[in-house]
Structure 1
Amino acid sequence: MERLAIQGGNPLRGIVRIGGAKNAALPIMAACLAVEGRTTLRNVPDLTDVRTLSDVLTRLGLKVTRDVDNHLTIEEGGGPRSQVADYELVRQMRASVCVLGPLLGRYGEARVALPGGCQIGHRPLDLHLKGLEALGASIRIEHGDIIASATKLRGTTIDLAGPRGSTVTGTCNLMTAAVFAEGETVIEHAAREPEVCDLAEFLRDCGAIINGHGTETIRIAGSAPLYGTDYAIIPDRIEAATFMTAVAATGGAARIEGLRLDHLESVLEWAAAAGINVKPAGPDAIHVAGGGALKACDFAARPYPGIPTDVQAQLSAILCTAPGTSVVVDTVFPDRFLHVPELQRMGAKIERDGNRIRITGVSRLSGTAVRATDLRASAALVIAGLAAEGTTVIDDLPHLDRGYEHLDRKLRSLGAKVARVSAEL
């Protein structure tokens, strides 16, 4: 087991390039179960979650090959086909549930273990399952598995409105399954996230007829079969926002390349309000300059196009040293505040009340030993450690490696003093 040791107080400077979006790559990889022939996916990040899903796909009979350029080739012929995704692998990552729709759509049956993933609050699968039932599937839960079967799927109207907005993985599952349904399927209150749109564009490249993605109403005309294609995954907007925050927190200046400005509008608006100097530096880059006066700044994490819940912890971390009081609300995952006790260990003044926290800025944070409790909380602790006085040591790095490709290496390229060390030291 390794720890991440960070010597704080070093401004980040230079150029860093953003990788492919984890949250787009995973459902697109899963959708390859529904595709005939060979598919090449470009700009796929080298992450633990990607490797886990590659293992799931291999167990299901596909052959998955990665090359040195972050290209994945996914094709049939890796072994006997299976429609069973077992708990041993699925428990490691919630996104594994995205294999349910493709398996059911193409083969008419699927058995998928109830998933695991980060412990950031209750994330029910009810909307996934009700949607598949509306398409004509028979669903039951047995021995910890979702068992789905259908002689024929039929297009219908599915409403994905939930108490905290739509479901991203549910929209992905249903969209892929609906490609195989007879007639038209209309998904109302669909998730609008760029990662959902990327899956839709991939499926269209494979021959699906899909319209309306990026809005709350997606229409799918049953058009199976799907055929292999060559497709590039969109940049990771969460990684881009994380680096933007890290540079600003250290008072550095850096160019962040390979991103999509249109996917970051809400975060860039928040950055301006918080006193962070961010300017476009071309069609796919921004320049971030820290060192100015941070400002207390309230915000709420909301479904797209709002500020993503996946950057709530990182933005909260930088506000810990912003003079004044900031109020942060998470409307998507009300319990996503496991980073708060760890930031408090570093000297942050934070009070929690339900799905909101109140941050009173302090002059500086102090490095200490902390524990990464989930993927985005770990990124928040990295940001805090980079800005803190002294050394911060972060335990439970597997969380970090699930969603950030070579983060320590990229940070070192910007001048950070970051190293992986043995937990025994």
Structure 2
Amino acid sequence: MPHFIAAFIIGLVVGFKTLPSNIVGYAYMGIILLAFIRCLQGNVAGFLSVIPYAIYGEIFMRAFVKWVPYLTLQYSLIACFIVLIFRTPLQKCHFRGYMFLLLFTLLELANNVLPYKVDVSRAILVNSAALMLPVLWASYHPLKPVVLNRFINNVKIACLFLVGVVYVAHISGNIDYGGHSNSDASNGLAPVQLSGYIGVACSFFFFSIMNNEQSQHRWLNILVLGFCGTAMVLTFSRGGLYFLGVIVVMYLWYNRAKARNYALFILLVPVVLISYHFVVEQTQGKILERYQQEGSSNRDVLVMAGYKVFEKHPWIGVGTGNFNTVIVRDELFPVESGAHNEFIRAAAEHGIVGLILYWGFFFSLFYNISRRAHIQKQYAMYFTVLMCMIIIHNGLKISIQPFLLMLAVATPSLLPQKVKNVYSRTYQQRVTA
């Protein structure tokens, strides 16, 4: 509780611009430096305890602290995971599918011979490397549950900082609610990216609510989930709410035989109703119009444009970062735009080769997860589905994405096959007795 309150208050102070931007920027760079030092020490748990605050502060830096380079965190993650790869003891590889993503990253580099816009292609290359290296490291370094939980808890705290920044806009007032994603309601932050960040954290709050080992904090997690979820919905970006909804449905499906989980889910109903009435009143009903709108904010049009680019350039695509320019040149879209969908971008920019490598990575990951023990399979599936939904909705733009993949890869079933077989026979005997 004190950590949540402190993070929210700091978010309010930063959101009101009480502190000079230079001080906020220095504090942010200090967090990144501390995370890098933890990597140099080989302290994985310490690194994963610090880095969520850099992840959730990035969106504010990009909006208001312009002297911090746009890709600062991505370059920092590349450096951190290179250090971790050499600094932490190498273990047996438990996921060889990382080779697909490694080869795709090399393809992105090789297919960058004639970029139309160097800045765009460089950003894609840096983001791809920042995604691949955590997966490479996680393929040889399984995470203990205590380390994973520490990361999740710090993500929840960091989210309260971001929510504090957002609520400043609603404390200040003068918001012009419309029928689209609203930067006024998000205090100047990118609403689509913001809903992705908060949507992931809300999913983590939901896991804590349903976890019996955290029953003493259940009501606190329920209240904070409602608080954060309200801020997420007020951005008018629908993505985060859809992400959370899918995770809830998945959880109830995986645990459908446990009636107690449905009883716990009922506890969320009053908070949902209170949040619903608050949001409707706050926006004077505009939020209902937003969720009644059909379409996907032109994302479906961009998907079709990507498919047509793939049809015209099926073998090796149009090259890294060239999607934005080609869709205007070929009159497939009126303005330059990213694909907002990494699966489509991989096919359009790299053709069949890119499609096989990028899609192959996710197929191999889903297959690997399907062979794990139940609890590892369940949570790895949540992390992977969250990642897939974000890259379909946002593209590769927010720095929580590499860590979702890292968590999915780094949670294998660690029991030897012989022990698992004995356990399975014992369990079956108990069921059939």
TM over 0.5: no
Tell me the TM-score normalized by structure 2. Answer: 0.29
Structure having the larger proportion of residues in strand: 1
Tell me the TM-score normalized by structure 1. Answer: 0.29
